[in-house]
């Protein structure tokens, strides 16, 4: 039985032609009135039907990089449960590789145009930092997400990250970002100190 080739390799990566899978997921999510189930379903359906072209940058542990344009069959076992998570590709990866997923901008713009509100300049776009304000209401429990990321980090590297490393890893996963001290307390708890 011959193995199907699930991607083609490209020699050159042109960043402005691609958007991250996170950005694509969030754009579809916004267009579907923030319905997660429909977002997962529609985004995967677009990739399988070639209405969207998916790609990946695969960086090996030695620093070499391979850019891959995925064929629709690649996406069959893939799950896209959240904007920051792509799973199911692990059987194709080698130990120590980091995979980053993208969608071709032209096709995404055609299916899900950028809204006028998202084109508005932000304070950060003008060289000023965006104001950090605490949102009202209960803060979500960040500990489980951070503990999971610490576990994945330990699986990859053999040791736990520092509190600041873990904060950087989890920076885009939650709206609430705890201070380094509570993160260190969590890490101490995880190692049994």
Instruction: Give the Cα-Cα-Cα angle 173, 19, 89 (nearest 5 degrees).
Output: 65
Task: State mean pLDDT over 31-58.
Answer: 94
* Domains of the chain by residue range: 7-118, 143-191
Confidence (pLDDT) at 125: 47
Q: Which residue has the higher pLDDT, 82 or 50?
A: 50
Report the share of the chain in percent with pLDDT over 90: 49
Report pTM.
Answer: 0.59
Task: Write out pLDDT tens, residues 85-141.
Answer: 999 999 999 999 999 999 999 999 999 998 754 444 444 444 555 555 555 555 667
Tell me what pLDDT residue 121 has: 45
């Amino acid at each position: 039985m011959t193995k199907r080739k699930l991607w083609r390799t490209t020699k050159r990566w042109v960043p402005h032609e691609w958007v991250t899978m996170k950005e694509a997921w969030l754009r579809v999510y916004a267009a579907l009135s923030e319905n997660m189930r429909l977002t997962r379903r529609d985004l995967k359906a677009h990739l399988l039907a070639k209405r969207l072209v998916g790609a990946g940058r695969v960086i090996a542990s030695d620093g070499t990089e391979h850019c891959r344009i995925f064929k629709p069959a690649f996406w069959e076992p893939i799950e896209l449960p959240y904007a920051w998570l792509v799973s199911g590709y692990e059987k194709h990866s080698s130990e120590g590789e980091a995979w980053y997923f993208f969608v071709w901008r032209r096709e995404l713009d055609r299916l899900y145009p950028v809204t006028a509100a998202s084109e508005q300049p932000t304070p950060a776009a003008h060289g000023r930092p965006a104001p950090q304000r605490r949102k009202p209401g209960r803060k979500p429990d960040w500990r489980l997400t951070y503990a999971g990321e610490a576990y994945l980090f330990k699986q990859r590297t053999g040791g736990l990250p520092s509190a600041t490393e873990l904060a950087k890893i989890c920076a885009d996963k939650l709206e609430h970002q705890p201070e380094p001290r509570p993160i260190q307390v969590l890490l101490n708890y995880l190692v049994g100190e």
